Structure 1
Amino acid sequence: MCGICGVVQVGGVPRQVLEQETLDRMTDIMRHRGPSDRGTYLADGVALGVRRLSIVDVAGGHQPVTNEDGSVWTVHNGELYNHLELRRGLESAGHRLRSRCDTEVIPHLYERDGDSFPARLRGMFGIAVWDERRRRLVLVRDRLGIKPLYYARHEDLLVFASELKSLLQSGLVERELDYDAIDAYLTLGYFPAPLTPLAGVRKLEPGHRLVIDDEIAVERYWAYPKPQPVEMTAEEASERVLAKLEESVRLRLMSDVPLGAMLSGGIDSSLVVALMARNMSEPVKTFSVGFREDSASELADARFVAEYFGTDHTELELSFLEDAVPLDDLVWHLDEPLADLSPLGFDALCRLAAEDVTVTLSGQGADELYGGYRKHRAAWALGALGHLPGPIVRGAARVGNFGPDVVRRTARTVRANGPAERLLAMSGDVDANRRRTLFRGPLAETDGTAATRAIAAYVDGLSGDPLAETLFLDGQLALPDLMLHYFDRTSMAHSLEVRVPFLDHELVELSASIPSRYKVRRWETKVVLRQLAGELLPPRVLAKPKVGFFVGAADEWLRTRLSVAMGERLLGHQLRCEDFLDRATLDRLVTDFLERRSDAPRARLLLSVLMLETWLSSYLERASMPPVAGTT
């Protein structure tokens, strides 16, 4: 795992695009992503930088890497799990590779396959390939968006990096805010790609490449699979998923450094540990973290699973009031505001694991593939409602208009017109009334449809099955732009690589063929996983309800922070966000939440504002300052 960055000239007579000192700053502000090694390449028309976390071929895997004659250069963030197979094919075709590092196959693949080389890769990656002869750069992001890649245009230059803070270190990026993006963020709780908080910066979307020569072209090389259920029995479904999941886990055991697993005691992480245990010769190292204030702490469940599989288990119980990472530091690592407290727990877990291992496996992604959340139960129920007469459904929706927030939200979901409107009814935090009272200035001048447009970009050709549609949208929105975003940033803040076997693209493609009835059925979630896990896990794990970090403590954490130190940020002084949010309305919303009034906003809306204000007041200034050695 690494952090990459660079600048390339778009057409024209090649010239120096960056001073070495600036390239060093861009590179070294990501030291946390790669403390093992650093490398740069600077020539007319191009600058490349990389920080390396050594995982495979620790001694011989220095980057940037090149082909035999130095005409193709590569920097790479991630892991290629099929690199040995690719290497054999390249060597049989006459290519000479000098190391065992997975990155070295990339320039040779590019020589052989051109821009189609990403289709050969199985793994997680953000890649830059510089073709010296043709004066062109190819940027590539992996299919599921596990690894990040930002880019921005400045006159005849394009600047790119794994992290936004590296982009800002170039001095080539304006800090003008994107108010459409902020509208989408306040509605969804994250910035949907390609949007970012800054108007001039974009995220390369999963499954896309960016080709830069005399012009710039964004191209899709892989599409998230639409639901295409294939008729099969429940036994066939579980057999196919288990076989592909075990293959995925086995591939992700590739490492020359210590490796372990994150264990919550739930079905997803327990399945990963079970498959690791039967494919490893030594006990699996497992790690768990809990918070004393969290009534839903999973430490006891994780301990039970660890004992069942005989793992080398480490656990830690903390206090989120005393031990959680300061909010300014969390936002610094996240790069963008996110309205989710899970990163606080995941940061603590990564910090614990990094004391003993360099690589961990995680169960992330199973919920989005097989239906693990309450909204997936709701989507299943909507599908069931489709069999009721229309007047009954419409009447129930009208009655729901007069209940508390959760009832009104359910009513909006029932009467939603199409998958985009339905997802916003399930998950959105800003409706027309809230927008009218809270937004002001440049935010009030937006058309208010940014979140709708972000979702609508993916809805063409969907099946009409509410559950299948919701899973399909989750896999391209909340999964990469919220969950995988904080997975990458908080793990790399501690120089820890996290691998996600459920998000192997071949398993994702298989999952699209599994009928919805094997995902959610009569309120039971992840049906196919529970069936295949019956032979691998004890019944206690199968019966355990979905929890997740901070679920039992999120509201209380926010009330505590708003009433003490963080309260000063939203209530005590001039706010940066007052340029586009109405202060009187915001003060009233905070007070209603603290006093637990029945019409108080959901915690996530206030958390969205708190994280955004923290980003505006601390992140932007810090990201524009030269990095201090050893502190990133």
Structure 2
Amino acid sequence: MCGIAGAFRVDGGSTPPLPEPVLRRMTELIEYRGPDDAGFVSDAGCSLGARRLSIIDVEGGHQPFANERGRIWGAQNGEIYNHDQLREELRGRGHVFTSRCDTEVLPHLYEDHGPAMAERLRGMFAVAVWDQDKRRGVLIRDRLGVKPLYYAHVGDVVVFGSELKCVVASGLVGSELDAEAISAYLMLGYVPSPMTPLKDVRKLAPGERLVIEDGAVRVERWWDYPAPEADQTPRSADEWTEIVRDALEDSVKMRLMSDVPLGAMLSGGLDSSLIVALMARHMNGQPLKTFAVGFEGADSELPDARRVADALGAEHHELQVSTATSTDALTKLAWHLDEPIADLSAVGFLALCELAVSEVTVALSGQGADELFGGYRKHRVASLVQHWTRLPGPARTAAAVAMRKGPGRSRQLLDALQSPDPVSRLLASSGLVRPELRASVFSGALAEQSGAAERVLRDRLAGAPGRGPLESAMYLDARLGLVDDMLAYFDRASMAKSLEVRVPFLDHEFVELAARVPAHLKVHRLQGKHVLREAAKGLVPDFVLAKKKRGFFNEAVEGWIGGGSGGAVDELLLGPDPAYAQVIDRDVVAGAVRDFRAGQGQHANFLLAVLMLELWLSKTLPRAFASAPEPLGVSA
């Protein structure tokens, strides 16, 4: 696991696109991603830097790597799990290797396959390759978007990095905000790819590559997230259970490759418990270390995690932390998140990573199972839609009247059930800006972008036309929230602590398999992840199978905004001259705070989104631009 940064000249050029001190500064900003080593290449048309967290071939894995002639350079952030197989194939075709490091296969694989090398890789990765002979640069992001990659095309240069702050520190981009991205963020709680909050900078989307050659820059899609599709071979529920279990075990085994200590995140829930149980079968005598974090005064899962660890014979480590968060702590979190993300789970995950890295360098996690197998409340709601529409008219009307008079969650459920399509349903059940606030929030600077989130959702759903409510809901989650919320804070929090986190559920072959599992085996009688529960029988303690899903601190947003934020709401949202006022009217935010405190509005998630936006605008962005050289410009 590493961090990369650099730039390629679009016309090839005869000089490096960046002064070496600038390249070094870009990588220094993400030193925590790779504290063990740093490497740089400055050549005609190419500036490429890498920070390394040593995992495979600790001594011999210095990046960037070149091919035998020193004409093709490659670097990456991530892990290539099939690197041994690729190395043997390449050796058979005459390639010579100097290390066991997975990154070294990249320049050789490119030499044989060009940009199509992407299809041969299995893992989580953000890859940069420079071909000196063809004056071609290639950037590749993994299929599921586990690892990030930012870029900006400025004049004759494409500048890129593992984090947004790297690109900013190049001195080549301006500070103009992207109103469409900010609008989508306020509704969704994250900035969806390929947008970023900055107009000049974009994220390479999952399964995309950027090719720079012959004076042109093009984005190519090399892998598509699989649309839900019924398997053509009739299979029983028991057969599906066995197939899912075996495929997940293969994915876990593949992710146990490491030359450094390895462990697992363990919440005590189904997903992480199943990962740990499968790991326990293949540790070959090595100690299995597990890590859990709980919050004081919250509905902690620490006792459950402890029970699972004891049952599986793991060496367990746990930590209880306070839900109270100071402004200083939030400022540090915002810096590492790199973009505004309105998800309090990042607070807990950062603490969990700090605990884990005291013992291991690599940890496996259960992330992704909910999106693949229908683990969220909104998935259960989507599964109810067909039943709702089949109710006789009078019964549906009576139920609607009763729900409308109920608490906020009941009214939100009704809005979702009455929504005409999957996009409207997701916004009704998960949109952060409640209907009563939308007109006032999306005014002024955001007026022309009020429908940004809906446009993004409809664009993503176009990849799975005509699917049912449940399948559509899971497809949207996997292509949006999973990538730009959960995997984003997973990557940033783990890298902030120099910890590599691997996600077996998001192996692309397992994801393609999950897309073929029938929907009724995912949400069954209002129970999510049914086939996964069946697969876990006999592997995890029985009590885990009956557990209800609990959020990782994220469900505590209302209490945190009300008191656990350590005064950040008053300091950051109600101050006299907040930075967010350039896009949102301060009076609107102040009114939402008053309504929330009076118990008159469901605005906690919206306020969290504005708070994280304020931290990004007032703290993170100025600090990143302070690292940029002056004046802005491309080297001659």
TM-score with structure 1 setting the length: 0.95
Q: How big is the shift at 1:323?
A: 8.7
Q: How big is the shift at 1:382?
A: 1.0
* Range moving further from structure 2, 281-290 or 565-574: 565-574
Q: 1:435 aligns with which of 433, 438, 449?
A: 438
Q: Note the alpha carbon deviations across 1:272-314, whole angstroms, 9 max, x for none.
A: 10000011122310111111121x1110000000100111111
User: Percent of pairs identical after alignment?
Assistant: 52
Counterparts of 1:102-181 in structure 2, within 5 Å, are 102-181=102-181
Partner of 1:499: 502
Q: How big is the shift at 1:377?
A: 0.7
* Range moving further from structure 2, 154-163 or 229-238: 229-238
Q: Note the alpha carbon deviations across 1:225-269, whole angstroms, 9 max, x for none.
A: 000022421111111111110000000000000000000011100
Partner of 1:471: 474
Q: 2:457 aligns with which of 455, 458, 468?
A: 455
Q: 2:514 aligns with which of 506, 511, 516?
A: 511
TM-score with structure 2 setting the length: 0.95
* Range moving further from structure 2, 415-424 or 607-616: 415-424
Q: Does 1:530 align with 2:533?
A: yes
* Range moving further from structure 2, 341-350 or 38-47: 38-47
Q: Does 1:590 align with 2:605?
A: no
Partner of 1:289: 293
Q: How big is the shift at 1:322?
A: 6.5
Q: Is this contact kept in 2: 1:562–1:568, CA < 8 A?
A: no
Q: Which amino acid aligns with 2:455?
A: R
Q: Which amino acid aligns with 2:413?
A: T
Q: Does 1:313 align with 2:313?
A: no
Q: Which amino acid aligns with 1:186?
A: L
Q: How big is the shift at 1:390?
A: 6.2
Partner of 1:614: 615
Q: Distance in 2 between matches of 1:418 and 1:552?
A: 26
Q: Distance in 2 between matches of 1:240 and 1:324?
A: 48
Q: SS of the residue aligned with 2:74?
A: strand
Q: Which amino acid aligns with 2:9?
A: Q
Q: Is this contact kept in 2: 1:144–1:505, CA < 8 A?
A: yes
The alpha-carbon distance between structure 1 residues 563 and 344, as it changes in their structure 2 partners (threshold 3 A), is closer
Q: SS of the residue aligned with 1:326?
A: helix
Counterparts of 1:368-387 in structure 2, within 5 Å, are 368-387=371-390
Q: Note the alpha carbon deviations across 1:495-530, whole angstroms, 9 max, x for none.
A: 000000000000000000000111001111110011
Q: Note the alpha carbon deviations across 1:311-354, whole angstroms, 9 max, x for none.
A: 11111112122799700000000001111100000000000001
* Range moving further from structure 2, 207-216 or 548-557: 548-557
The alpha-carbon distance between structure 1 residues 563 and 141, as it changes in their structure 2 partners (threshold 3 A), is closer
Partner of 2:8: 8
Q: How big is the shift at 1:583?
A: 1.8
Partner of 1:65: 65
Q: Does 1:196 align with 2:200?
A: no
Q: Distance in 2 between matches of 1:297 and 1:347?
A: 17
Q: Distance in 2 between matches of 1:336 and 1:57?
A: 32
Q: Note the alpha carbon deviations across 1:417-447, whole angstroms, 9 max, x for none.
A: 2222221112112356423223442112x24
Q: Distance in 2 between matches of 1:393 and 1:192?
A: 35
Q: Distance in 2 between matches of 1:622 and 1:162?
A: 17
Q: Distance in 2 between matches of 1:622 and 1:529?
A: 44
Q: SS of the residue aligned with 1:337?
A: coil
Q: SS of the residue aligned with 1:42?
A: strand
Q: Distance in 1 between matches of 2:376 and 2:328?
A: 27
The alpha-carbon distance between structure 1 residues 390 and 211, as it changes in their structure 2 partners (threshold 3 A), is farther
Q: How big is the shift at 1:399?
A: 6.6
Q: Is this contact kept in 1: 2:196–2:202, CA < 8 A?
A: yes
Q: Is this contact kept in 2: 1:398–1:411, CA < 8 A?
A: no
The alpha-carbon distance between structure 1 residues 394 and 170, as it changes in their structure 2 partners (threshold 3 A), is farther
* Range moving further from structure 2, 424-433 or 392-401: 392-401
Q: How big is the shift at 1:163?
A: 0.3
Q: Distance in 2 between matches of 1:603 and 1:432?
A: 14
* Range moving further from structure 2, 123-132 or 152-161: 152-161
Q: How big is the shift at 1:45?
A: 1.3
Q: Is this contact kept in 1: 2:533–2:545, CA < 8 A?
A: yes
Q: Distance in 2 between matches of 1:308 and 1:13?
A: 61
Partner of 2:87: 87
Q: How big is the shift at 1:565?
A: 4.0
Q: Distance in 2 between matches of 1:155 and 1:276?
A: 49
Counterparts of 1:10-409 in structure 2, within 5 Å, are 10-11=10-11, 13-213=13-213, 214-230=215-231, 231-281=234-284, 282-294=286-298, 296-321=299-324, 326-389=329-392, 393=396, 396-397=399-400, 400=403, 404-409=407-412
Q: Is this contact kept in 1: 2:275–2:365, CA < 8 A?
A: yes
Q: Distance in 1 between matches of 2:328 and 2:390?
A: 49
* Range moving further from structure 2, 283-292 or 135-144: 283-292
Q: How big is the shift at 1:410?
A: 2.2
Q: SS of the residue aligned with 2:627?
A: coil
Q: Does 1:600 align with 2:604?
A: no
Q: How big is the shift at 1:113?
A: 1.3
Q: Is this contact kept in 2: 1:439–1:582, CA < 8 A?
A: no
Q: Which amino acid aligns with 1:122?
A: R
* Range moving further from structure 2, 467-476 or 419-428: 419-428
Q: Distance in 1 between matches of 2:588 and 2:561?
A: 18
Q: Which amino acid aligns with 1:286?
A: T
Q: How big is the shift at 1:449?
A: 1.3
The alpha-carbon distance between structure 1 residues 562 and 256, as it changes in their structure 2 partners (threshold 3 A), is closer
Q: Distance in 2 between matches of 1:227 and 1:394?
A: 32
Q: Note the alpha carbon deviations across 1:141-174, whole angstroms, 9 max, x for none.
A: 0000000000111111111000011111100011
Q: How big is the shift at 1:397?
A: 4.9
Q: Is this contact kept in 1: 2:324–2:566, CA < 8 A?
A: no
Q: How big is the shift at 1:476?
A: 0.5
Partner of 1:630: none
Q: Distance in 2 between matches of 1:69 and 1:553?
A: 56
Q: Which amino acid aligns with 1:222?
A: W
List gaps (5 residues or longer) in structure 2. 629-636
The alpha-carbon distance between structure 1 residues 540 and 289, as it changes in their structure 2 partners (threshold 3 A), is same
List gaps (5 residues or longer) in structure 1. 628-632
Q: Is this contact kept in 2: 1:397–1:415, CA < 8 A?
A: no
Q: How big is the shift at 1:402?
A: 5.8
Q: How big is the shift at 1:535?
A: 1.5
Q: Distance in 2 between matches of 1:465 and 1:198?
A: 36
Q: SS of the residue aligned with 2:450?
A: coil
Say how many residue pairs are matched: 623
Q: Note the alpha carbon deviations across 1:555-593, whole angstroms, 9 max, x for none.
A: 212211567244211113211111221222211111221
Q: Is this contact kept in 2: 1:324–1:348, CA < 8 A?
A: no
Q: Is this contact kept in 2: 1:393–1:414, CA < 8 A?
A: no
Q: Is this contact kept in 2: 1:227–1:462, CA < 8 A?
A: no
* Range moving further from structure 2, 190-199 or 430-439: 430-439
Q: Distance in 1 between matches of 2:530 and 2:328?
A: 36
